[in-house]
Amino acid sequence: MPVTVLMLAAQRTGVVNPLAREFDVSHKCLVPICGAPLITHVLDTLSNIPDIAEVRISVEADAHDAVGAVVAPYDRPDRPVRLVPSEPGIVDSVIAASEGDDGPFIITTADNVLLTREGFDAMRDAMRDADAAAGLATRERVLAAHPQGQRRFYELKDAGYANCNIYALANRKAFAAAEVFREGGQFMNNPSRMVRAFGLVNILLMRAKLITMDAAMKRLGRKFGIRMKGVSFTDGALAIDVDNRRTYDIAQPILAQRLNRAGETQPHP
C-alpha cells in the first residue's frame, strides 16, 4: 500500500529553537547529529522503505532554500521529496501538506532521528483496520532503550505509555483525529489542553487507570466518528526524538550505535 509521508519540520512562528541557536543554524531540523542534520537521518530511513509515493516536508517558506539544499539529494522521479509552506498550527500544516491527496498518510517529524523501517511498517499495517493510528511505547520499553528516555508517561490500566512522533491517517475522514492537536501537542505539560483535546470523561478514566490503551483509543475514535488504534512498539527508542539538549544527548549515542552497526559513518541518499 503506497503512502504519502507528511514530515513536520517547522518551528514556532517568530521563535528560533534553542537547539538551533546553540548549533548556529536557522531551524532545528538542520541541527547536526552524528555528522548530519536531523532531517537527513529521517530521510535516510525513509529512503530504505518501499511503497512511499512521495515525501512532503512542511516547513516555513523562508526556510525552503536552506532545507531544500539539504533534502535535494533525496528527491527522485519515482519518489518526489518536496517542500510545502507550513501554517501557524500543527493541524493546518498537516492539512496544507496533504492537499490534493486522499491518502493514506504517515505523519512524522524531522527530529524523529530514531525512526525505523519496522516502526514505519507497523504504522502502515495499522491502517488495514483503522482510519487513524498513533505510535506508542510502554514505559518498560522506553526505559530499556535509555533510562532517561522519557520523564512522563500516560498512566493507563495496562501500562504507562509514551507518545512516539509517528501517526497514520488512512483517508480524509481520518483527519478528524488530527483535531486532537489543534492547540498543539505537549499534553503532559498542559493539562487544560489535554482536556479540551480528549474530553474530560476520557481524561478522568485515564487518570483513574480505569481503561486500557486499546479502550482509550476506541473511545477517542467514537468521539471523532472514526476507527482509531494505538500501535505499541517493541522498540522504546521510537519515543525519543530530539526536542532539546537533553533529548539530543540521549538520542545521539543510540543513533551512533545504530549507524555503526549498519557500517555507516555518514548518512547518504
Domains contained in the chain, CATH given: 3-114+241-259 (3.90.550.10)
Q: CA–CA separation, 96 vs 166, rounded Å?
A: 18
| DSSP 8-class letter at 199 | -
**Bridge partners (DSSP) listed for residue 196:** none
Q: CA–CA separation, 267 vs 81, rounded Å?
A: 17
Q: Say which residues have a Cβ less than 8 Å from residue 244's Cβ, sequence separation at least 6.
A: 18, 19
**Bridge partners (DSSP) listed for residue 37:** 32
Tell how far CA 103 is from the center of its chain.
17
Residue 1: what residue type? M
Rounded alpha-carbon distances, angstroms, from residue 22 to 19, 63, 68, 165, 167: 5, 18, 22, 23, 29
258 backbone dihedrals φ, ψ, rounded to 5°: -65, -40
**Bridge partners (DSSP) listed for residue 230:** 134
Burial of 1 (0-12, 13-18, 19+ CB in 10 A): exposed
| pLDDT (tens place) for every residue of the chain, 269 residues total | 899 999 999 987 777 889 999 999 999 999 999 999 999 999 999 999 999 999 999 999 999 999 999 999 999 999 999 999 999 888 889 999 999 999 999 999 999 999 999 999 999 999 999 999 999 999 999 999 999 999 889 888 999 999 999 999 999 888 877 765 554 444 444 444 444 445 544 555 666 576 799 988 888 888 888 899 999 999 999 999 999 999 999 999 999 999 998 875 445 56
Q: Quick one: cell of 147?
A: 533510562
| DSSP 8-class letter at 200 | H
Position 195 scores a pLDDT of 44
Going 214 to 216 to 218 to 221, the CA torsion angle's sign is negative
Position 180 scores a pLDDT of 57
β-pair type (160-169, 132-138): antiparallel
| DSSP 8-class letter at 17 | -
What's the angle, vertex CA 168, arms to CA 152 and CA 138, rounded to 5? 30
Residue the block writes with cell 555503526: 260
Position 86 scores a pLDDT of 95
What's the angle, vertex CA 91, arms to CA 137 and CA 14, rounded to 5? 105
CB 114 within 8 A of CB 209: no
CB 181 within 8 A of CB 87: no
Q: Which 3 state secondary structure label does DSSP give 70?
A: helix
| DSSP 8-class letter at 259 | H
